[in-house]
Amino acid sequence: MVATEVRDVTGVLERVAAERGGVIGVPPGLVVTPDATWTPASELLRPPYTLLGELVEQTAARWNAPRHVGAALFWKTYGYWHTLPMALAWALGGPIPVMPLAETYFKVSEAGVTIGASRVRWGSGPEAIREALEESQAPLVRVLSGMAKVGERTLWGSTAEAFAHPLTLMVPGDYMALLRAVGRPVDGLVEPAGDAYFRRTCCLWVTLPDVEPCGSCCVLKPRP
């Protein structure tokens, strides 16, 4: 059963990679053999958080943004690619691929960041996703929030969107049901709007000069 579902998730990721000209932030097979080009994700949580700070500064410099906006945009990328395989697997009705923090690796790439694991752990349902968020995302959210003075709710809004976006555009799925089942801290941060959705938090992209807001931005939501 697991092998079949791996092929399903991998197939979707291969299709997404082809549509994006190969620019994708997670290997379609999820598993990597780390070499010198890969960095353990656990290094991002090593005090005094020098590496994480450098990535935030690089993102801020790329967009000529303040540091707190750089942190939010870095997380929007990292959180999206880390969440994507779990969202797709849930929508496909299969086991959930979890990248254990101790075995997760990343590299800076054309996709912003690419994330893979030397081993994938398989879980079941929203509970596995909730545990994965607590293990691998919550520590980074806490550090980023404190480091760059950006709200945790803002950062978790990007993770919530990382469930809604693929289940709207890649594999049909009831992302609202999934977010409710996963619960806090992602539940309640996205709301449906016809065939699309709006965030209830801002990723801060709209604060950059001369940019258009994201299609899901809360500032675009019609006022009652």
Rounding to the nearest 10 degrees, give the CA dihedral for residues 46, 207, 216, 115: -20
Residue 16 lies in a domain: no
Whether 111 is in a domain gets the answer yes
Backbone phi and psi for residue 116, each to the nearest 5 degrees, phi listed first: -145, 175
Burial of 154-191, coded b for 16+ CB within 10 Å and e otherwise, reads bbbbbbbbbbbbbbbebbebebbebbeebeebbebbbe
What is the structure's pLDDT at 217? 73
Rounded to whole angstroms, the Cα distance separating 28 from 15 reads 9
CA 171 to each of CA 14, 135, 163: distance values in angstroms, whole numbers, following the listed order = 13, 26, 11
- Any domain includes 214: no
Instruction: With cut-offs at 50, 70 and 90, classify the pLDDT of residue 214.
Output: confident
- Considering the domain boundaries, does residue 123 fall inside one? yes
Contact status, residue 97 vs residue 8, Cβ threshold 8 Å: no
Kindly give the pairing relationship between strand 104-109 and strand 112-117. Answer: antiparallel
pLDDT-derived band at 5 (thresholds 50, 70, 90) equals: very low
Is there a domain that residue 6 lies in? Answer: no
Say yes or no to pLDDT of 219 above 70: no
Given the structure tokens 């994708």, which residue do they identify? 24
Using pLDDT thresholds of 50, 70 and 90, give the confidence band for residue 49. very high
| Separation of alpha carbons 67 and 150, rounded Å | 9
Q: Does residue 52 lie within any of the structural domains?
A: yes
Neighbours of 71 (CB within 10 A): 28
pLDDT given for residue 203 in this prediction: 86
Can you tell me the mean pLDDT for 81-106?
96
pLDDT of residue 204: 85
Cα dihedral sign for 204, 40, 21, 159? negative
Whether 91 is covered by a domain: the verdict is: yes
User: Which pLDDT value is given to residue 223?
Assistant: 65
Q: Is the pTM of this model over 0.85?
A: yes
Q: Which pLDDT value is given to residue 6?
A: 45
CATH of the domain at 48: 1.10.510
| Predicted pLDDT of residue 180 | 98
pLDDT digits (tens, 9 = 90+) for 107-128: 999 999 999 999 999 999 999 9
Q: Over 90: is that where the pLDDT of 194 sits? A: no
| pLDDT of 33 over the 80 cut | yes
Q: Tell me the average pLDDT across 195-217.
A: 82
Structural domain boundaries, residue 35: 26-207
Tell me how far apart the alpha carbons of residues 95 and 111 are, in angstroms, rounded to a whole number.
Answer: 26
